[in-house]
Structure 1
């Protein structure tokens, strides 16, 4: 189950049980209140913060914060995460310059199956407005590393780009169930 940017319009606990969900992944811009039921869920939970997030709720809900970290999904796939979006204002939100993202991604592993991010790579479901532009270094990372999947939220693409080179792109706004 992937969650991003707005509350799911379903009961999370019921959906997890009825669909035999093995893992929950959050792609940011979700408030703790929307996710509070996940605190009682014992399946693995991973996530990143979005640009409008207050830090701290991932740990409080037992969700592994993937930003700058590598993890392993229940199916054995390796996963890394990248929080926030490109800085478009001078606020204390989760925002980074393109240069800061380049420095962060320089330390990422060169073999990974899944990338979980809030903002997409440059040229992938992004927009030309400052708040929704893609991350240049993330595009370079995806082009070189070629993870099997890239999961993101944040933008409002139409149409949605679902493939970049070897990488399947999964865009979420709300909730969706995906088989990786």
Structure 2
């Protein structure tokens, strides 16, 4: 198969540092990765290590535990250096010999105490309004649809929990039905707490709960 006929290979990360990714074996273990995607709540140095070792784009949304940090040498660090924050953005990734891939990102979790990156469902809906207007324009006039919907929190009723912190967003369900991405990838729901990590199908979209890492492929 020629390079022109190949799809995308994506390394998706979330919530837990994995030793194999934070080691010298990373490059040999994950060959031919087109880009890295983080669904949040991972240390900035970890993401920077993955980015520089694989030397491919790294896109991310913030999790509910991601914070600005103050280093011992007096620096203020608000994001992983070299990575692209796609929170509340429509981001089209273009690489040689690949069809363009369109991602939509929404970081944060359900509001449960008023800290950074927490939203009520109504607040999340408001964050999505402008995105959906632009996506409709893209679909009609550029013939471009959403390939990947990237969030930290889950959608309501899919991989989510009963407590306020881990409840999913109702607003995500409508977005998925209208935009029909190939994948919805999210983090936040740790299997060590008993949450389901099996892939789920919602209408035309496959939903993945990412914990640690997964490899995704999107066909040409």
Structure 1 gaps, min length 5: none
TM-score (structure 2 length as normaliser): 0.74
Q: Which residue of 1 aligns with 2:92?
A: 72
Superposition pairs for residues 1-180 of structure 1, below 5 Å? Answer: 1-12=11-22, 14-18=25-29, 19-40=31-52, 41-55=54-68, 56-58=78-80, 60=81, 62-73=82-93, 74=95, 75=98, 76-91=100-115, 93-108=116-131, 109-110=135-136, 111-156=145-190, 157-158=195-196, 160-180=198-218
* Counterpart Cα distance in 2 of 1:164 and 1:115: 13
Rg: which structure is higher?
2
Deviations 1:26-81 (A, max 9, x none): 000111132231352431111100000014223x2x11111111112344221010
* Counterpart Cα distance in 2 of 1:138 and 1:174: 23
Deviations 1:94-153 (A, max 9, x none): 111111100011112243111110001111111111110001111111122111111111
Structure 2 gaps, min length 5: 1-10, 69-77, 137-144
TM-score (structure 1 length as normaliser): 0.89
* Counterpart Cα distance in 2 of 1:161 and 1:170: 5
Q: CA RMSD for the aligned pairs?
A: 1.8
Q: Select between 124-133 and 67-76 the one with higher mean Cα deviation.
A: 67-76
Name the count of aligned residue pairs: 177
CA contact (8 A) 1:79 1:116 kept: yes
